[in-house]
Structure 1
């Protein structure tokens, strides 16, 4: 049975994303136009628009559509802005960010995921994305960005992420200890950082950013 992906995409926007308070017109238009099914592994295409995270290999997963929608709305990249994405994964959120922003640099620690995402983004005719194979916690970078999207949870935000942010910029990051994590928008201001709490959620940790296990005596 063939799936009407256009209809599935429309249903995802109207039944999942919009009811979860994603109401920005540019974000909804982007989610309605980027074909999510082309960014998921072939065996999982039938689940491309389901309200669930999808495995990508290496223990990585593609975020649920509602979480991706909330991340896009929180960051709200503008047409003249540069965005850093930490954790390319499937490349789907990368493509959405690229639709909204001037340029996107995305880093992915697994070479095969980075390569597959590059191919998918090229196939969509998106030309304002650069995907680098690197680990965010050791990446040698001097560029600063208007917005940063962190694709995995962190116990606390690594200071180097803030250094990559232009003054006045913002980071979307899920912080805390599972299962009681909080999605946050961290603003870089003149006298430091201000953290805005958005909603509660639970997300797998970014590699190397999980809490140290506590040893009971």
Structure 2
């Protein structure tokens, strides 16, 4: 699904909103201008996707009024939906382009995967918690997003049957870059993930594959939930 398709899709979640659809669209535009462009996000594809995906559709109804605040919000069970700026930064750092094959690790409610799909067209997303995976599938379907395939399982192992990936994007922090992700990257592929560096401090990095080598770029300090699984921390 492309970014502009969201503007024309019916959104059942909107019926639960007090604000008219036009007001929510205006909130998205302000979020893009104030929280993304003002902080240095420049990729037009990313900005258009962030301005089209209805974040309220991926939140519990009680939190829908806060959908366009630039902050993470709780989903329950110790999980969160990432703040808009971090989703945009991740997508921009990965250099997502139409047609890229993308693996999203840590589906949560499905919001970030929906943003990535609005750019690239098709996304595979892995969620460790079965209840979250089921909820994400419902929310994605209700929002009219049909290009995100949610798999329940250990995302640290990747999805070898669907590799190679042009980008692997993680919404949880691990102790190191999982080896299966590097193995499943296409040549020139990118991983964007947070790494645990010390107690209370994480670093968002971009890993780019060059043959048998990788380069690692520092994207700044962040705070994410732990990456769960065989190559994770929790």
Which residue is 1:185 aligned to? 206
Indicate whether 1:200 and 2:232 are aligned: no
Whole-angstrom distance in 1 between the partners of 2:52 and 2:187? 32
CA distance in 1 between counterparts of 2:70 and 2:138 reads: 25
How many pairs does the alignment contain?
211
| Mapped partners of 2:25, 2:50: distance in 1 | 11
Residue in structure 2 matched with residue 115 of structure 1 by the alignment: 134
- Whether 1:149 aligns to 2:169 is yes
Question: Which structure has the highest helix share of the two?
Answer: 2
1:87 Cα deviation from its structure 2 partner: 0.6
Alignment partner, residue 214 of structure 1: none
Report deviation, 1:138.
4.9
Report how far residue 43 of structure 1 moved. Answer: 1.4
**Deviation, structure 1 residue 102:** 3.3
Q: Distance between the aligned counterparts of 2:28 and 2:159, measured in 1?
A: 38
Change (3 A) 1:138 1:72: closer
Q: What RMSD in Å do the two structures reach over aligned CA positions?
A: 1.8
TM-score, normalised on structure 1?
0.90
Q: Helix, strand or coil: the match of 1:126?
A: coil
Distance 1:137 1:144 in 2: 15
2:192 corresponds to which residue? 172
Unaligned runs of 5+ in 2: 1-16
Return the alpha-carbon distance in structure 2 between the equivalents of residues 95 and 118 of structure 1: 11
Contact 1:151/1:173, CA 8 A, preserved across alignment: yes
Q: 1:137 to 1:80 in 2, by over 3 A?
A: closer
The Cα of 1:201 is off from its aligned counterpart by 1.8
Q: 1:48-104 CA deviation, whole Å, 9 max, x = no partner? A: 111211111221111111111101111132112110000100101111111111321
Paired with 1:83 and 1:95, the residues of 2 have a C-alpha distance of 12
Distance 1:32 1:21 in 2: 16
Q: Which position in structure 2 is the counterpart of 1:135?
A: 154
| 1:2 alignment partner, one of 7, 15, 18 | 18
The answer to whether the 8 A contact 1:78-1:102 is kept is no
Distance 2:148 2:49 in 1: 16
Structure 2 distance, partners of 1:80, 1:68, is 19
Select 2:48's aligned residue among 15, 29, 35: 29
Change (3 A) 1:174 1:121: same
Return the alpha-carbon distance in structure 2 between the equivalents of residues 140 and 17 of structure 1.
Answer: 31
Distance 1:86 1:192 in 2: 22
2:83 is matched with which residue? 64
Does the C-alpha gap of structure 1 residues 30 and 130 become closer, same or farther in structure 2, counting only changes over 3 Å?
Answer: same
